[in-house]
Structure 1
């Protein structure tokens, strides 16, 4: 799965629809992966992404202390892995080994990327003002890679209660927009 660089100002192309992502982190010699169902694009340039990460999650302190992570975009074929990762703790499980995932060296952060994922978005904490009260991290995407094909991968969206849905059809309406980027 050879990835190509992606323009940072256009990360929304992959993340705006709100797909399930796998967040990888690294702190004090330990890697972890968590499943995250809620993130949001906050700004295009610099590329800012907001993520709510529960303080009870093993990744919370790793990310808070290291100041970085990787947002990995899995395709729907990884649904069982995504669900299992979200239902065990990184305190006692090496999730890369347990789920047969490959830790790839990232370009700009110490946290590993997940090779099996369609895209990787390396992040550094941009603003932590809402972490204490809301567990809400604002990350700046500092490097981005995605597979060139397919143009629109089948991603997962979590609806709660162990139920996921896939993406629907791609519907283009460029003629209705005054600015298209």
Structure 2
């Protein structure tokens, strides 16, 4: 008989997307960055991403005020910094300055890109219907930036309780995806 895991640990099995940093800029101009582990792709076209960000997060206010953020994708070399960012609040600390992160201007939103990250996705809130009930924001990606000069591109994935996995080899089975080929072009 297999071992059992408490149902509240379901995220340890299902959350496979990379850990993200969420950058926001509040209406007063202050920028913040937070760590985010709970997110999902919702649609391919338009590109919609669901993120769980609640009132317990300092960034919630800025996202509520502006409807904009940047989803920054850190690589494994930033793993310890990403965890440390998640263990403090932007209400008491300028995280960009404290953690030595470079806020770069975005093109479509006011929230800054995170210069040290491999990818940055500029997003706007597309749907707030689930925010009050589930703290689930539906974001539409407006622009994507990739740092092609980065040598380190392995992503980190939260498995819960401080455990992470790191990207390794890629298994490309794209030629077998015949049913979905038209959707992915």
Relative to the length of structure 1, the TM-score reads 0.87
SS of the equivalent of 2:45 reads: coil
Distance 2:19 2:80 in 1: 13
Q: Which blocks of at least 5 consecutive residues in structure 2 are unaligned?
A: 1-14
Distance 2:109 2:150 in 1: 26
Distance 2:151 2:101 in 1: 23
Report the counterpart of residue 39 of structure 2 in structure 1: 39
Report the counterpart of residue 57 of structure 1 in structure 2: 57
Greater displacement, 54-63 / 104-113:
54-63
Q: Which runs of 4+ in 1 moved over 4 A?
A: 149-152
Cα displacement (A) at 1:150: 6.4
Cα displacement (A) at 1:149: 5.4
Distance 2:146 2:117 in 1: 9
SS of the equivalent of 1:61 reads: helix
Cα displacement (A) at 1:147: 2.2
CA RMSD between the two structures: 1.7
Deviations 1:127-146 (A, max 9, x none): 00000111000000001111
Distance 1:84 1:119 in 2: 20
Distance 1:150 1:175 in 2: 28
Distance 2:132 2:158 in 1: 26
Greater displacement, 136-145 / 162-171:
162-171
Cα displacement (A) at 1:159: 1.4
Distance 1:115 1:151 in 2: 14
Report the counterpart of residue 21 of structure 1 in structure 2: 20
Report the counterpart of residue 83 of structure 2 in structure 1: 83
Distance 1:87 1:132 in 2: 24
